[in-house]
Each structure stands twice: as structure tokens, then as C-alpha cells.
A and B are shown apart, each in its own frame.
Chain A
Amino acid sequence: MAVADSVVAVVAVINQKEGNPVIKKKPKSVSKALATATCALLGTTAMPVQAQEEPAWEFNTALLYYGEDDDRVQDVSIALLARRLFADDKILTLGLTVDSLTGATPVGAAPLDVVQTITRPSGNSTYDVAPDTLPLDDTFLDTRYAFNASWQQPLGRLYNGNVGISFSKEYDYVHSGVNAGISRDFNKKNTTVSLGFALSKDDIEPIGGTPMALTPMLDVGDLSNRLGNETKDVVDLLFGVTQVISRNLLVQVNYSYSDSSGYLSDPFKILSVVDPITGDTLPRVPTPGVDGPSHQFLFEGRPDERVKHSLYTQAKYYMSGKVLDISYRYMTDDWDIDSYTVDARLKFPIGNSSYIEPHVRFYTQTEANFYRATLSAGEPLPMFASADYRLGNFDALTAGAKYGWKTGSGHDISFRLEYYMQDGDVPSGQLIGNQLQRDMYPGLNAIIFNFSYGFGL
């Protein structure tokens, strides 16, 4: 049988390279010979292998720049991922990321045709917003350190387990989390079913304290409606099935459940209180001799519980050298946000060692049921309200490409440049009077640039 002969020949070559006799043992059967040869070629441990790989480190490093236009958020990030490969397919992964954030971010207040003065989140000073300009807080400045570690190992022949920890620290925010997962292979390892969970506990510690929901922004130095620090707990569960469809096609389907509870508001976001006829923000007079807001603003308030369900599916398809990677995600939650994401990449090889990978991603979401562009002075105060544009109704598009190559010494280098834009609108029923003539929803245009370098030791 030609196939069996060639397999025996492959086994013979492998044995020769290891300095063993050409054929130590006569294979007991063709199928065993095939499996042994395949596993030896792939370096897997599905069958007993004759030599274990030496422990080795793999490093991936990356430099990221994310920059929004109009002097909004700029992020420079450095990431390092180290993987130690042990014998028996055990893997230790360590990750470290440092983010440096600067720039301005929309605070949720509506634009107005006069100057607006707003108290900074710390309560220590104020800033002015020019007429007909979207109010941005320009004190957005933070450095974030994130660390994670995970351990993965086979548990018997068909199971694989992993455990991990994560920790991150910002000036006013601390996260710590644990996660674990288990997977089992079926059908000659063509089907893998996995189950995972993650728990995280976050501490929110803004300067000046967290503001009480839907209470007014006060004069400088008046922290009477501020509380102390707050916490947030998140429980994530994930159930996934990965299936090999054919020699060239692999599909994954994941269902995930996420339950967040605790302080889910953004302590820096506010809403304008407006005249029910003109739609203009109502003026306010600060205490004489003290700086304070020139108009009426309330701190936002979100529910203290959120349950999200996601269905994610991804396919990888190999087409004579090119690889198509396409994914789709549907998410729904009990804040009435529904979102759809489609992501597609196509990797084209260029010569033997380089490639180009165009990427496009489309995202759309509906607004949260408590999203309000402004609050009308004539109406009773709702139980929850937020003007955070990220909880609004918008579409987003990412388009770009990555170019990468392998160096002569086997190192991987790549550059990625992408453009990200958001375009949304306020539900028409929420716009009042003069608001109809103003740009009430902040769009977003950003550049994403990545340089990455990977090598092994």
C-alpha cells in the first residue's frame, strides 16, 4: 500500500535523525504507523512520542498607538506576552501591559450656544466649554498596569485544563480576577467542548469619591453628594464547541453569560438638565465667591446589575495558501442593548516568508433603555439615566491591514494600521427644540497602529 509505505519511510527518516536504528520495531499495524508518524510530524502527544521537546520560551511584544481625532483620547501601550512551553504540552503564559492614556473625552453634557462652565470630576476646579462645542473633559490622564498569568495542561488523554489570574491598576481603579476552564476532545479530536468561568472584583476609587446617582453637580469644594469608593463584581461563564469540518475548515461556536453587579455607573459622566421647550441647558448661579457649574448638570446613574448573553461564532478557512478568518457575534443584555459584530480578515502570503492581511469589522448596537441625551426639567426624574455615547445607538467600522514577515532567524515582525470610526444618533423622540439643530451625538474617528515582534529562546 503506497500510503503505508510512505509512512514507514517517514518514521524511518525521523528515527534516523534521532540517531536511532533505521527501524527499531516493525509497526504492528498500518493505522498505528500512520498515527505515530502524524503525531511525530505535528509534534502532538496524542500518541506516545519518542522524544519530548526541550522547554522553551516564546516572547511576543507589541507597541500600540490608539489616537482619536479632535485631541480626544490618545493611548500608547506596550505589551509583553511570554509563553514557557514545558514537556507534556504544559504551558505557562505571563502577560504584562502598560497603557498611558491622555486626551479629552465626552462627559455626556449637551452642546450649547453659550460658554458652559463645568466642575471637574475631582471637585477641585472648573473648566470652560466653548459655545456650540461638545463638552469634553480634558483631564483624562491615566497610566494602567495590567498583569495576567495562566497555566494550561492536559488532564489525561482527552481533557485539557487551564487556570489563570489577572490584575490591573489605574490611578483610581483596581481589578483582580481569577479564571479557569476545562475542555474535552471527542471524535478523534475533531470536536472540542470547553467550559470556562471567570470571576473579577474591581474597586472604583475616583478622586473626590463616587458621586451619588442623579444628584446635581456642585460648586468647587462641595463634596456633599459624594460617596466613598465603590466595587463591581463580574461573573463570566463560557461554553464553547470547536469543530473541524474538513481538512481546510475549522469552526467555533461560543455561548457566554456575564453578570455584572455593583457600581456600574461611570463616575465622570453627567447629563444636562434642559428647558422642556427650548431644549437649552438650564442656567445655574454658583455660590458667590466660589467657582461652580454655570448650568444644571446631574451625575449619571445606571442600574447596579447587568446580565449579558453572547453568541459568538468563528470560522477559519484555508484556501491554497490564503486564510480567511471570519467571525460573528450577537450580544443582548437586560439593559436592552443588542449588538451585532462581523469581523473578517484574509491573510495573503507574499513569497515564502511575508504576508499581508486586510481586516474589516462592522459593529452596530441599539441604545440602553435608560440612555437619555438630556433630562427635561419638566419631567419626573427617572430611576436611571446616562448620556454616555457608548450606551447610545451607533454603528462602527474598522478597516485596515497588517503586513508581517519572518526574519532569517525565525523572528516574527508585523505592522498594522487601522482606521476606526463610530457614527450614531440620538433617538429622534429625545431631541427637544434647539437640540434638533445641534450635533448632539459625538462621532469618533481613530487610528490604530501596532508594531509587534515575536521571538523564541
Chain B
Amino acid sequence: MSNKKLYSMKLIFCVPALLAISACSSLGVEPWERDVLAKDEMQLVTDPIEAATDDHIYFSKEASSGGRGFGGGGCGCN
């Protein structure tokens, strides 16, 4: 990979990351305020099998996949 391309790649990933971090620094809670966030039902994926099943169904019936995680494939159904 050329230096210029590498620099562009770094910019693509680092600039949004830095912007997000600085924009988010004023948000959030203190460690002792995490009682609700620690609940099972507040996890981003509460049922991994159901999430995987749904991703598999929609991957095989629609032209889109991924988003929440990788949408690579691994099935001859599409």
C-alpha cells in the first residue's frame, strides 16, 4: 500500500473516531450510575442466537446484510 493511500486510510478511520470521542466526552454517566445499563435487556444484543437467525433469514431473502455486525455470507442461499 502506498504511503498516500495509507495516509488516506488513517484519515478515514481516525478523524471520525476523534470527532466522535470529543463530541461524546460530555455525555455519559458516572460508574455508580450504571445499574440500568448493566441489565441484560439493555445489552445491544440480548439474544445472540435470535440475532444470528434473523440475519441468516434476511441475508437469504434480501439483497442487504450486515450492519450490526459482519454481513459476509457463508451460505449458498444468496
**A-to-B contact residues, CB < 8 Å:** 7, 34-35, 37-39, 41-42, 46, 60-62, 64, 66, 77, 79, 81, 95, 97, 101, 142, 144, 146, 166, 168, 170, 172-173, 175, 177, 179, 186-191, 193, 195-196, 198, 200, 202, 204, 232, 234, 236, 238-239, 241-248, 250, 252-256, 258, 260, 266, 308, 310-312, 314, 316, 318, 323, 325, 327, 329, 331, 333, 335, 337, 339, 341, 347, 363, 365, 368, 390-391, 396, 402, 414, 416, 420, 422, 444, 448, 450, 452
Contacts and interface: CB of A to CB of B under 8 A. Distances in A.
B68 A314 contact: yes
Contacts of B17: 193, 239, 241
Nearest to A343: B54
B30 A168 contact: no
B64 A339 contact: yes
A144 B42 CA distance: 32
A396 B60 CA distance: 13
Contacts of B31: 34-35, 38-39, 46, 188-189
Nearest to A239: B13
Contacts of A241: 17, 20, 24
Nearest to B71: A258
A444 B70 contact: no
A312 B68 contact: yes
A123 to B, nearest CB: 18
10 contacts: A46-B31, A66-B57, A77-B53, A79-B53, A142-B76, A187-B25, A193-B21, A242-B44, A247-B35, A327-B68
Given A79-B49, A236-B66, A255-B16, 4 more contacts: A64-B53, A258-B70, A308-B66, A365-B63
B63 A250 contact: no
A187 B66 CA distance: 28
A170 B76 CA distance: 8
A38 B31 CA distance: 7
A11 to B, nearest CB: 12
Contact of A202 (B38, B46, B74): B74
Contact of A308 (B47, B50, B71): B71
A317 B49 CA distance: 22
A139 B2 CA distance: 50
Contacts of B70: 179, 196, 198, 236, 238, 256, 258
A318 B62 contact: no
A452 B50 contact: yes
A200 B27 contact: no
B67 A260 contact: no
A324 B43 CA distance: 11
B42 A168 contact: no
Contacts of A46: 31
B76 to A, nearest CB: 3
A200 B34 contact: no
Nearest to B58: A363
Contacts of B65: 258
A414 B41 CA distance: 14
A365 B64 contact: yes
Which of B16, B32, B38, B52 counts the most chain A CB atoms within 10 A? B32
Given A38-B32, A243-B28, A245-B28, A173 B75 contact: yes
A339 B63 contact: yes
Contact of B72 (A200, A253, A450): A200
Top 8 A-B pairs ranked by shortest CB distance? A190-B28, A173-B76, A312-B67, A175-B74, A329-B67, A38-B32, A198-B70, A339-B64
Given A347-B41, A363-B58, A177 B34 contact: no
B71 A236 contact: yes
B16 to A, nearest CB: 7
Nearest to A191: B24
Contact of A244 (B29, B46, B58, B77): B29
Contacts of A266: 78
B33 to A, nearest CB: 5
B36 interface: yes
A379 B28 CA distance: 61
B75 A144 contact: yes
Nearest to A62: B49
Given A250-B44, A390-B62, A188 B30 contact: yes
A360 to B, nearest CB: 13
A327 B67 CA distance: 10
A306 to B, nearest CB: 10
B52 A79 contact: yes
Given A35-B31, A310-B67, A193 B49 contact: no
Given A77-B53, A190-B24, A341-B67, A318 B74 contact: no
A250 B37 contact: yes
Contacts of A347: 41
Given A327-B68, A390-B62, A200 B74 contact: yes
Contacts of B71: 236, 256, 258, 308, 310
